[in-house]
Amino acid sequence: MDVLMIQLSSTGLESAVRDRSLLGLRTRPAVIGSRTTRIRFHRAPMRGRAAVLNAVCSSPAAVVEGLKKKRPSSGKSRDRARLFVGLPLDAVSDGSNVNHAKAIAAGLKALKLLGADGVEFPIWWGTVEKEAMGQYDWSGYIKLAEMVREAGLDLRISLCFHANGRSPAIPLPQWVSLIGESNPDIYFTDRAGIRYKECLSLSVDNLPVLNGKTPMQVYEEFIQSFKDSFSGFLDTTITDIMVGLGPNGELRYPSFAQSKSRKVGVGEFQCYDKHMLEHLKQHAQSSGNPMWGLSGPHDVPQCNQGPDANAFFKDSGGSWETPYGDFFLSWYSNQLLSHGDRLLSVASGVFADSSVNVSAKLPLMHSWYKTRSHPSELTSGFNNTAKKDGYEAFVDMFARHSCQMVLAGVNLSDEHQNQGSKSSPESLFSQIKEACKKHGVGVIGESSVSGEADQNGFERIRKKLQEVDTIMYQRMGAYFFSPEHWPLFTAFVRSLDRQQEMHADDLPTEGAGVVSSSAISEVERQSKMQVA
């Protein structure tokens, strides 16, 4: 991948380069100190790079004008979104070994020949720092990164501070789980007292509950150790870092953790560990309504029930519209916002001197979106209703930390949802995307495993290519390379328009960068590969 790094002593350029309409350049400005701005340009054509270099010594305006002159004549304002494919969740499970190594190597070669930009793999807190605080084993993940580099692909890393309760089972670090046995209030808790043990409650972010350290201190040390251990890959092979902010890596409460039913319910508020209740009590007292801080709402449905099963979420006359409802929902959402702000501040600080793109994930809680109260969003921590935009503050927070936003559901359609749940993934995706556009936050679209992996699903992804910076597609595995799926994916990738007008000096020399017919045949052969 062509990468240009420049450093200019002008703050004016930082805002100018956020206009991603210029040549399709995707940038992540990072302010170093108070005067200089480092900018990374992806796939800048040679003549475009020359224009930038010639203007470096003049002014930001000259830089921008130089870029504008190189706009493709085809009328396209940008190249297509980058395309990444996820590797298996358990590609590394014991810290030192790569699972399915031969199959993954073959898959990487197939993706490279097909024309994908890169792959993503998760790095699990419970795998790297498994036995004791501060004892890290990155060796297996380093081997995996070397495989990706050898394949000539870019790499997105997801730093996962949560566990995976489904198959494959990946727990939190053993030493954290031991602490949780004697101090269960480090976990999110619902009103029935059920603990969610796949990540730590945001209420303990700044409490020394982990052998004398706070979770924020432990997260920061983990991220710094990752940076030090992978320094040889950063800004070259590793182009993107996604920081996990909660359940499944998403910035949300685990409101549907206890759902066992196939019926779509409203979820449960997760504010019943003793530290959350103490925060609520203090907030109620400071607001002059101490009685409001005794507990969470008493008139909410159970997790698997619909919004009309009790009074709180009713569209007409529901408690969510009362002064108490506004008090509680604002507090609940602000607690989540503050957690995201703390962790993104840590991550963006660690990578401030790097050009990697830092991102984090927001969920698409689209059930009940067509109601006035939007209950599944409320229980997840987003105070988004027919009367209030609950995402604006979150997008603004991402913008302040120069972070991109990962949004799942690029392949979801309203018509394929449970009609009884008044769901609208398309409307919710558009709402959040428009807020990102307003604040200059880049969007990374992620396909949902619950979406249709058929021609219609791929067509929906294709329609969103001009709305996002990157597409993250599913995960490599047996189904991914199956005869039912791989040909569809191959046709989808081949259909993408990846060409920009290039000057003759920019064209590859004979034989360079050309995928031969025999190579294409090998891609087809890889469709038969099975990855466990």
User: Which residues carry out catalysis?
Assistant: 250, 446
For 412-469, list the strands marked E by DSSP.
Answer: 443-446
Q: Which residues, in sequence order, are CB contacts of 14 under 8 Å at separation 6+? A: 29, 31, 37
Q: How far apart are CA 426 and CA 386, in angstroms?
A: 16
Contacting residues for 436 by C-beta, under 8 A, at least 6 apart: 395, 398, 405, 442, 443
Q: Is 528 exposed, middle or buried (0-12, 13-18, 19+ CB in 10 A)?
A: exposed
According to DSSP, the residues that pair with 408 across neighbouring strands are: 446
**CB contact at 8 A, 238 and 157:** yes
- The strand pair at 187-189 and 82-86 is best described as unpaired
CA angle centred on 142, ends 138 and 144, rounded to 5°: 125
* The token pair that represents 472 in the structure block: 């993250």
Distance between terminal CA atoms of the chain?
Answer: 30
Question: What Å distances lie between residue 37 and 23, 34, 409, CA to CA?
Answer: 20, 9, 34
The continuous run of DSSP H or E covering 375 comes out as helix 375-380
Cβ pair 402, 358 in contact under 8 A: yes
Whole-Å CA distances, 134 to 92, 212, 213, 301, 488: 19, 13, 11, 42, 45
In terms of Cα–Cα distance, which of 399, 398, 396, 361 is closest to 380?
Answer: 361
3-state secondary structure of 164: strand
Tokens at 495, concatenated: 């259909």
Q: What span, in angstroms and rounded, lies between the C-alpha atoms of 286 and 16?
A: 43
The DSSP code for 438 is: H
- Contact (Cβ atoms closer than 8 angstroms) between residue 411 and residue 454: no
The candidate with the shortest Cα–Cα distance to 432, out of 422, 442, 423, is 442
DSSP state of 11: S
Q: Residue 347: name the closest of 150, 114, 161 by CA.
A: 161
Q: Compute how many other C-beta atoms are within 10 angstroms of the C-beta atom of residue 339.
A: 21
Name the residue type at position 47.
Answer: R
Residues 6+ apart with CB under 8 A from 196: 187, 188, 189, 190, 247, 254, 257, 270
The rounded distance, in Å, linking the Cα atoms of 403 and 193 is 35
Q: Which residue has the tokens 């320094």?
A: 231
What is the distance, to the nearest Å, from the Cα of residue 353 to the centroid of all Cα atoms in its chain?
21
Residue whose pair of structure tokens reads 């199959």 in the numeric block: 103
